[in-house]
């Protein structure tokens, strides 16, 4: 009989990423054939076992979904929010359960990828190589060569020194600057903290690409299915 690790089976059912599924298991939220399981090494016999999460039976998603969303500001990057704020899932009407790959802050807009494919999720979150993520930001004040050099070489954002990054001036206004920023890390509010560190706080921030996948002309709050080429790119990360 074919067996599969419980957390992998859950991810394949579209519950969450494999890591999040492991957290649900440890917290005692998962049952196999009516018995609560808290061990991460547990396996599911695919032909006979019934798995439930929070009392609801789960089954593998038959159709894999890969989506690019232009997340507006004012939405939380999660499936549910404890404070009942609108989430990115509210913007997408699908029968399949999907979840975000990574996150964008509440007050950050732009490209967000979502899927129900746990394997793709892990490839993007823990890639074998570097995945650059590009942003357009409006920051307060004026940049000089010293600030640009500091930003590019890495700054301490509170117990963590960022990796080398890139920042290019696009437009200069009287009291602010529009820049293109490229990083390959994903620390919480990283770009905002980096800009704070050099004395140029972020006013607006939008992500325009994740690796080879671009936001393009997607309007805020709208989404599209990834192309076959884009999905293959993610699968080969």
pLDDT of 119 over the 90 cut: no
What does pTM read for this prediction? 0.78
Lookup: tokens for 124 = 């993007």
Tell which phi-psi region holds residue 110, choosing left (phi > 0), alpha (psi between -120 and 50) or beta: left
Q: Do 23 and 40 touch, CB atoms closer than 8 A? A: no
Q: Do 133 and 182 touch, CB atoms closer than 8 A? A: yes
Residue-level pLDDT at 129 = 86
Say which residue the tokens 């979904």 belong to. 65
Residue-level pLDDT at 1 = 64
Task: Answer yes or no: 90 catalytic.
Answer: no
Consecutive H or E run containing 99: strand 99-100
Q: Which of 105, 166, 196, 217 is catalytic?
A: 105
Domains of the chain, first to last: 3-58 (3.10.290.10), 66-128+216-235 (3.30.70.580), 133-210 (3.30.70.1560)
Lookup: tokens for 199 = 């004395």
Neighbouring residues of 133: CB distance < 8 A, sequence distance ≥ 6: 182, 183, 184, 186, 207, 209, 210, 211
State the pLDDT confidence band at 126, using cuts at 50, 70 and 90: confident
pLDDT tens, position by position, 145-156: 999 999 999 999
pLDDT of 5 over the 70 cut: yes
pLDDT tens, position by position, 207-219: 999 999 999 999 9
Residues in the chain: 237
Residue-level pLDDT at 134 = 98
């Amino acid at each position: 009989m074919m067996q599969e690790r419980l957390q992998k089976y859950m991810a394949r059912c579209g519950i969450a990423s494999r890591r999040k599924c492991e957290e649900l298991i440890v917290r005692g939220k998962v049952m196999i054939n009516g018995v609560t399981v808290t061990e991460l090494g547990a396996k599911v016999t695919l032909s006979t076992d019934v798995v439930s999460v929070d009392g609801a039976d789960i089954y593998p998603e038959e159709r894999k979904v890969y989506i690019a969303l232009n997340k507006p500001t004012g939405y939380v990057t999660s499936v549910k929010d404890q404070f009942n704020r609108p989430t990115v899932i509210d913007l997408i009407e699908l029968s399949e359960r999907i979840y975000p790959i990574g996150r964008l802050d509440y007050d950050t807009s732009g490209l967000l990828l979502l899927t129900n494919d746990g394997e793709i999720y892990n490839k993007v979150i823990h890639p074998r190589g570097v995945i650059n993520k590009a942003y357009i930001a409006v920051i307060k004040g004026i940049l000089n060569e010293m600030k640009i050099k500091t930003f590019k070489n890495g700054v301490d954002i509170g117990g963590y020194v960022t990796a080398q990054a890139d920042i290019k001036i696009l437009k200069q206004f009287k009291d602010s600057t529009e820049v293109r920023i490229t990083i390959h890390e994903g620390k919480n509010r990283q770009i905002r903290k980096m800009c704070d560190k050099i004395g140029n706080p972020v006013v607006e921030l939008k992500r325009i690409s994740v690796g080879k996948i671009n936001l393009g002309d997607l309007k805020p709050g709208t989404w599209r299915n990834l192309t076959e080429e884009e999905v293959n790119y993610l699968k080969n990360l």
